[in-house]
Structure 1
Amino acid sequence: MAYQVLARKWRPKTFADLVGQEHVVKALRNALDKGRLHHAYLLTGTRGVGKTTIARILAKSLNCENASHGEPCGVCQSCTQIDAGRYVDLLEIDAASNTGIDNIREVLENAQYAPTAGKYKVYIIDEVHMLSKSAFNAMLKTLEEPPEHVKFILATTDPHKVPITVLSRCLQFVLRNMTSQQVADHLAHVLTVENIPFEQPALQLLGRAAMGSMRDALSLLDQAIAMGSGSVTEQDIRQMIGAVDKHYLYELLQGIVNQDGEALLRTAQDMAARAIGFDSALSELAMLLQRLALIKTVPAALADDPERDALLRFAQYLGDEQIQLYYQCAIHGKQDLSLAPDEYAGFVMTLLRMLAFAPIAAKAHAPDGVIEGTQLHAPVYQQPATPMPVVSEAQPEEPHTAPHNQPIDGDEDDTPPWQDEPETAVADNHTLENIQTAESQPAPQSDNIEPVTPDNAVEATTAEPLLTEPSQPETQSVSEIVSHNTATPIQTASIQETRTPEPENNLIEADNEPPYIAETEPEPDNYSDADDSDEYAPQQPSEIPLPAALTNSEESEEPEDTEEHAFIPLPEFAPENWAGISKRLAPKLGAAQMLTQHAAWTRYDAENHLMILALTDEARATTNKDRLEKVRSTLADAYGITLKLQTEPWRDDAGWETPTMRHKRLQQEGRRQAQDLLEADPAAQQILSLFEAEWLPETLELTDSQE
């Protein structure tokens, strides 16, 4: 007897033999068991997931003489003839070869006749999306109202090409790709029954190479058996599918851990000499890093992994941040291969990127430590102002981190580190005076701008190139740092508070501002002036107005007190007060406030009580009669007058100004004024020079500006 390939030999013949697709099998079994059968089924999915197989099993179940709970018996005449491909009432059509209307018309003409041997005539149309438009139109009527003895089972890999009129007439099932573990387990079962020796890692490689297709996996298994001369080994599989040998991956990982660029380059050259695909190499490296992250987080997840010991050994030398960083480098490097001059250059650059980023994720640094090369000044010893108890390194409950230890461009935590210490104040007028005073003092007495040293003492080699005063010691003990930081809380807070503002928070705050601002009415968009917050009420107001970007971001989140507005009179009913009026009445206007924000009050006829609004293009896009009536009635009720409302087209040369335009104009003027004040302030200039920063104009705002 001729050899039969595994993909055909192990094709499932019952629903119980199927691997995966439980969601489809359950629905079909219940429908067959309860007799709730649809006249047309559409099976969609990628290649090799079981579309045609399920269609044949369903055809057997429909015509089986001894079906039990939707399962075909497999031994009756109908089942055996369907398996042999000789059943007269089952017609399989390959739409890729029979695309014309003549082929479909012949099928439809025979559909009206009763079945010869079974209960139903079953038509299986594979790759149905290949039919022509005329063929689809010809079968629409029959597909919508077929004879009771006819069942259509359509299968396609591209349902988007099937007309929507056909989709609406079918009961659609989407078949999913199988996981690599499901494929590997089924291959192990096949090899065990076939009595063929195999290695489990080889099946894992085949499962990943099949990409969810069981037919592809069985075809690869046939090839692997032939290549291994009756056995399946990992080495043969790697050579067959072009997978990277594990020792290359571990050599690369070892070179990254050791920061050994020469070793990485040698390994890359060896891989290039053996024609190993660098695309697959980066994929395998990313998979290895994923397993490393998994074993560090959930050690029991890889309890049965044969490489568990090697993974645990590498996990001891790599931190969680390093693994995540290297994983990102690997997957982004794979995407960049197509943009590189050649794959080898792209692969080497990815490895060099891992080396370049490694110091930032070095495991030897504490979470609040200073990374080598990021210090602004060398550690300088300073005598504590008052005697304080010595805090040893064994007391981590009260860490005191100098402000320079934090990133310049903003902390990850929105709450400043000094928020919980009552003796630490935010930057105010006294803080700026401290910085100005320090500017005029001699250098040895400059205590307010404090050099940074982390809680864990920095090595002398790190600070040595940055020393500017040879008489000062290179390192500083933890007790000295803690004592000094505790003795000077105000100076520490002053530098930390006035550091370069966080771009992200400032941008979000600017975006959330409403188009205009009133003096007394609460904001409907959760906006509030910083002046309304009483968090720092005990402090004296600053002589130099600070930009809002330097104030605590939490102030803007506090809602204003709305109870006082009931006792504050409305602005005079006049065109010059239009911005304040629209702002005060915004909560009552609701959605109609969009109209008032983009409209200018041009004239008012007191005798006829006629109010004329000029509408911009933005206002006209959101204007209707209901909103105009809402504006009129709200104004009339608020001022107790009879009011008529009329609109006119917008004219750019008329000099009109909407509340939105007014707000933008005042905002720009305030930003320019704030920037002028900051540029004239010596303390602010000292901060810019110290951090090599610059102000973001769009984040500046005068805290005492009133609109």
Structure 2
Amino acid sequence: MSYLVLARKYRPRNFTELVGQEHVVQALSNALVQQRLHHAYLFTGTRGVGKTTVSRILAKSLNCQGADGQGGITAEPCGVCQACRDIDSGRFVDYTELDAASNRGVDEVQSLLEQAVYKPVQGRFKVFMIDEVHMLTNTAFNAMLKTLEEPPEYLKFVLATTDPQKVPVTVLSRCLQFNLRPMAPETVFEHLTRVLAQENLPAEPLALRMLARAARGSMRDALSLTDQAIAFGNGQLQEVTVRQMLGSVDRGHVLRLIDALDRSDGAEIVSLIDALRRYGLSAASALEDMSLVLQRMAVIQAVPNSVEDESDPDSAQITRLAKGMAADETQLLYSLCLHGRGELGLAPDEYVALTMILLRLLAFKPGAMTHTPAEKKSPRTPPLLTPEPPGEPHPAPAVLPVIAPVLPRLVASQTSVQIETASEGPPPWDDLDGEDPYVAELSDDSETQIPPFQVLKVRESSEPTERTSHRRETAKPQDGAELILTPEGEFWNALVRDMVDRELINALVRELALQSQLIARNSDRWHLKLERESLNQATSRERLKAALATLGHAVELDFEFGKVTDSPLLRHTVALKEKQWAAQTLIENDPMVQDLVRDFGAKIVPGSVKPI
């Protein structure tokens, strides 16, 4: 006897054997029991989810005669009467299947409808099943509309399609529509387990899970892949052979890639991609598996109490990666993996594309540095509105500009600052190569140190300028929060800048530190204030605490919520506004610009002046 493939051998023959479509089974079963039968049914769904199978079971339910030949319409066809056996074997004269993909013209449809005038020969009902009905031409659809709307009482239409959007609404309105859903991987896995148990074939659970994922919701594809895997593995289904057959990436490679991305280890990433090339594994499969793992990590991060599949041996490692990686990094990696799959076909080599995608993930990680340590330039002091003679070099980090030295002078003077032209010296926003004298003043114990609770208010200049009458003053920005300088704030600002410079904090932890204000501290406990409660996450607090311990501050952190008046971010924002004000003032007071405005009616486009 010739071999019958698993997809045909284990095709469901009644509603109880149909898996994954309980919503369709319940509706049809109730209709059959109550005999509230519609004259036209439309089954939609992707390939291999059971559209043709449901049609055949429905035809058997309508025509079943029972084991004793006395049966009627039933939701549980016997499967042993002549009608049931003929429908299963495809030779029942009153059940007609038409493939609209190859018989899509009006002539084929008219030939089918000509049979509608004749009553059933064997069964109780005639059933016309049209598969891939969306392939019919518009003329063919129009030819069947009248019969579809008012068929004889003994005629039932069953239409099936994978693309219901292409079916005319005039046809949709005449049918009872059921959408067959793609199978969940767990549903496919359980069905494959039962099938192989009946076949007495040994199978590793991980191998079946890989086949279930590769089927992408299609039970027929899953059974066909299982047939192929049985032949490939010489009668055995093992994870190694199935992975080799599918060209899938070992989950261990994927976990190591994500771990290397979390650690920003570019060398290991390149090495792992070279290993994928040597093994001949699919680059697209690598990105797909990475997306699946990142999705599980995102769920664990959003729902810490979610229950992981204990049968999956990678669950513990995925949980570890989820707890170690920031939530925003996980979301970014997931998004770039999805978009990166579309680039594989554009590159000359898919492994080259995979390398670039993963390096892009590394480059765009939140808080990632865009240059190597060897390329870091020596940090310089912040911009001053009036340059002073340089002093000793001051080693301030370049990641967060030094803001505090500018503020005491602005508080002390509270007068308009005279802007020098480009011919008399460098622009005021250029960084100085030497030390800011105010930094030196702040570094010692002199009276020029920042007094406690000193208030900075940005005011509009009231003094006239020394240049021509055409020159005008630019008002300093008035918006923004009020900055109140405190000694604890100065200490916290320098400490946060140091942690950022050493890359001890990034992403959400960095934002938590930048937007916090140090209120008070002692040897073992620090009290901070924060405005945004969304930043106060347990993971972020623990990582900030660990970063402080690395710098020798092993303390507990307490947070309260309220208005922040002296945070590193607030200092940085005030300095940027002063920098923008200085740049705009210099441009508007430039003699050449004023001549252009006066003689030619020129205007400075708002927002176009940017400090360098």
How far has the Cα of 1:372 moved from its partner? 7.7
Q: Which residue of 2 aligns with 1:301?
A: 307
- Partner residue of 2:331 out of 324, 336, 345: 324
Q: Which residue of 2 aligns with 1:201?
A: 206
- Partner residue of 2:606 out of 690, 694, 697: 697
> Which amino acid is the alignment partner of residue 247 of structure 1?
G
Distance of 1:453 and 1:286 partners within structure 2: 38
Distance of 1:126 and 1:62 partners within structure 2: 19
Aligned to 2:367, the other structure's residue is in SS state helix
2:76 paired with 1:64: no
Q: Which residue of 2 aligns with 1:255?
A: 260
Distance of 1:497 and 1:190 partners within structure 2: 66
Q: Which residue of 1 aligns with 2:401?
A: 376
How far has the Cα of 1:677 moved from its partner? 11
Distance of 1:112 and 1:322 partners within structure 2: 66
How far has the Cα of 1:351 moved from its partner? 2.1
Question: Aligned runs of 1:222-261 on 2, under 5 Å?
Answer: 222-261=227-266
Aligned to 1:173, the other structure's residue is in SS state strand
**Bigger mean CA deviation after superposition, 251-260 or 214-223:** 251-260
**Does the aligned pair in 1 maintain the 2:60–2:87 contact within 8 Å?**
yes
Distance of 1:360 and 1:313 partners within structure 2: 21
**Does the aligned pair in 2 maintain the 1:44–1:155 contact within 8 Å?**
yes
Distance of 1:490 and 1:375 partners within structure 2: 15
How far has the Cα of 1:45 moved from its partner? 1.7
**Does the aligned pair in 2 maintain the 1:40–1:170 contact within 8 Å?**
yes
2:92 paired with 1:183: no
**Does the aligned pair in 2 maintain the 1:30–1:69 contact within 8 Å?**
no
Q: Percent identity?
A: 46
Could you tell me which runs of 5 or more consecutive residues in structure 2 were left unpaired when the two chains were aligned: 66-70, 370-395, 409-452, 464-474, 477-484, 504-517, 530-563, 591-603
Question: CA 1:225–1:492 in structure 2 vs 1: closer, same or farther (change >3 Å)?
Answer: closer
How far has the Cα of 1:454 moved from its partner? 5.8
Q: Which residue of 1 aligns with 2:37?
A: 37
The number of residues matched between the two structures is: 447
**Does the aligned pair in 1 maintain the 2:401–2:572 contact within 8 Å?**
no
Q: Which residue of 2 aligns with 1:141?
A: 146
Question: CA 1:479–1:454 in structure 2 vs 1: closer, same or farther (change >3 Å)?
Answer: farther
How far has the Cα of 1:461 moved from its partner? 7.5
Question: CA 1:457–1:125 in structure 2 vs 1: closer, same or farther (change >3 Å)?
Answer: closer
> Which amino acid is the alignment partner of residue 287 of structure 1?
L
How far has the Cα of 1:227 moved from its partner? 0.8
Question: CA 1:132–1:678 in structure 2 vs 1: closer, same or farther (change >3 Å)?
Answer: closer
Aligned to 2:80, the other structure's residue is in SS state coil
- Partner residue of 1:343 out of 350, 359, 365: 350
2:459 paired with 1:453: no
2:361 paired with 1:354: yes
**Does the aligned pair in 2 maintain the 1:427–1:497 contact within 8 Å?**
no
**Does the aligned pair in 1 maintain the 2:287–2:338 contact within 8 Å?**
yes
Distance of 1:93 and 1:484 partners within structure 2: 74
**Does the aligned pair in 2 maintain the 1:424–1:489 contact within 8 Å?**
no
**Does the aligned pair in 1 maintain the 2:32–2:75 contact within 8 Å?**
yes
How far has the Cα of 1:455 moved from its partner? 6.0
Question: Aligned runs of 1:382-421 on 2, under 5 Å?
Answer: none
Aligned to 1:697, the other structure's residue is in SS state coil
Distance of 2:528 and 2:34 partners within structure 1: 81
Describe the superposition over 1:235-260 as per-residue Cα deviations: whole angstroms up to 9, x where unpaired: 11111111111232233234334433
2:12 paired with 1:7: no
Distance of 1:280 and 1:244 partners within structure 2: 6
Describe the superposition over 1:544-582 as per-residue Cα deviations: whole angstroms up to 9, x where unpaired: xx9xx99xxxxxxxxxxxxxxxxxxxxxxxxxxxxxxxx
**Does the aligned pair in 2 maintain the 1:94–1:127 contact within 8 Å?**
yes
Distance of 1:82 and 1:350 partners within structure 2: 53
Q: Which residue of 1 aligns with 2:171?
A: 166
> Which amino acid is the alignment partner of residue 302 of structure 1?
E
> Which amino acid is the alignment partner of residue 207 of structure 1?
A
Aligned to 2:498, the other structure's residue is in SS state coil
**Does the aligned pair in 2 maintain the 1:286–1:331 contact within 8 Å?**
yes
Q: Which residue of 2 aligns with 1:96?
A: 101
Q: Which residue of 2 aligns with 1:667?
A: none
Question: CA 1:92–1:327 in structure 2 vs 1: closer, same or farther (change >3 Å)?
Answer: closer
Aligned to 2:234, the other structure's residue is in SS state coil
**Does the aligned pair in 1 maintain the 2:86–2:92 contact within 8 Å?**
yes
Question: CA 1:328–1:499 in structure 2 vs 1: closer, same or farther (change >3 Å)?
Answer: farther
How far has the Cα of 1:58 moved from its partner? 0.7
Question: CA 1:500–1:334 in structure 2 vs 1: closer, same or farther (change >3 Å)?
Answer: farther
**Does the aligned pair in 1 maintain the 2:255–2:318 contact within 8 Å?**
no
- TM-score under structure 2 normalisation? 0.63
Aligned to 1:19, the other structure's residue is in SS state coil
Distance of 1:354 and 1:72 partners within structure 2: 56
Describe the superposition over 1:295-342 as per-residue Cα deviations: whole angstroms up to 9, x where unpaired: 444354214122123224434543333333332332233333344453
**Does the aligned pair in 2 maintain the 1:378–1:451 contact within 8 Å?**
no
**Does the aligned pair in 1 maintain the 2:519–2:527 contact within 8 Å?**
no
How far has the Cα of 1:10 moved from its partner? 0.8
Aligned to 2:91, the other structure's residue is in SS state coil
> Which amino acid is the alignment partner of residue 163 of structure 1?
P
How far has the Cα of 1:150 moved from its partner? 0.7
Aligned to 2:3, the other structure's residue is in SS state coil
**Does the aligned pair in 2 maintain the 1:283–1:330 contact within 8 Å?**
yes
Q: Which residue of 2 aligns with 1:18?
A: 18
**Does the aligned pair in 1 maintain the 2:488–2:520 contact within 8 Å?**
no
Distance of 1:452 and 1:79 partners within structure 2: 81
How far has the Cα of 1:96 moved from its partner? 2.7
Question: CA 1:500–1:62 in structure 2 vs 1: closer, same or farther (change >3 Å)?
Answer: farther
**Does the aligned pair in 1 maintain the 2:207–2:239 contact within 8 Å?**
yes
**Does the aligned pair in 1 maintain the 2:32–2:73 contact within 8 Å?**
no
Distance of 1:262 and 1:31 partners within structure 2: 63
Distance of 1:32 and 1:460 partners within structure 2: 70
Distance of 1:122 and 1:306 partners within structure 2: 49
Question: Aligned runs of 1:430-449 on 2, under 5 Å?
Answer: none
**Does the aligned pair in 1 maintain the 2:519–2:528 contact within 8 Å?**
no
Distance of 2:276 and 2:149 partners within structure 1: 59
**Does the aligned pair in 2 maintain the 1:449–1:495 contact within 8 Å?**
no
Question: CA 1:232–1:496 in structure 2 vs 1: closer, same or farther (change >3 Å)?
Answer: same
Distance of 1:94 and 1:680 partners within structure 2: 80
Distance of 2:495 and 2:528 partners within structure 1: 12
